[in-house]
Amino acid sequence: MAVIKGRIRGGGRQLAAYLLSYKTNESVRILDVDGQEGYTEQEFRDLLGDFSLNERLTKSSKGIYHATYNPPEALGAKLTDEQWMLAADVLTQELGFEHQRRAVVLHRNKAGRHHIHVAIERYHASGKMIPIPHNYRKHDKARAVLEQMFEEQPTAKVNPRRREMKEELTRLWNSTA
């Protein structure tokens, strides 16, 4: 099962330091920055710092949306850079950030699992931060699209043990009265 997480945040330079860190990662690669390859680490740090500078224009402290896509281990090990970028495109599109500046970083952690981080600038030319309502639903939709695209087993919509768990919780609750 693929896992997609994300949240709004500030601190672009701190995020850049985290994304480039080898503390928990065996390898770190900058795959893409604004549609370009070959960014240096310093240029990457500067870009995420610029994302934070735009926070001041709106008096917001959270000008970045930081998302991760962590596919099943077997799938992550065989995805090409182009497929990782396709996953970032799907995630960006489902979140409604398709015209925003972004950076994509591929990690392989010390346990050997591959995953990407997508840092997206929320500042819009209108002078406001783009809101991101219902982001968890959007993550779920992106996960479903990616599972279909990469021919993975779809994640169950409802816990198959839900009825059994509900009955057990009701029984326990009633036994305390």
Give residue-wise pLDDT tens across range 161-171: 888 999 999 99
**What mean pLDDT do residues 116-122 have?**
96
Task: Calculate the average pLDDT of the chain.
Answer: 91
HEC profile of 104-166: EEEEEECCCCEEEEEEEECECCCCCECCCCCHHHHHHHHHHHHHHHCCCCCCCCCCCCHHHHH
Task: Please tell me whether the overall predicted TM-score, pTM, comes out greater than 0.95 for this model.
Answer: no
Give residue-wise pLDDT tens across range 30-64: 999 988 878 889 989 998 998 888 887 787 889 99
Weakest-pLDDT range from 123-132, 133-142, 152-161:
152-161
Which residue type is seen at 150?
F
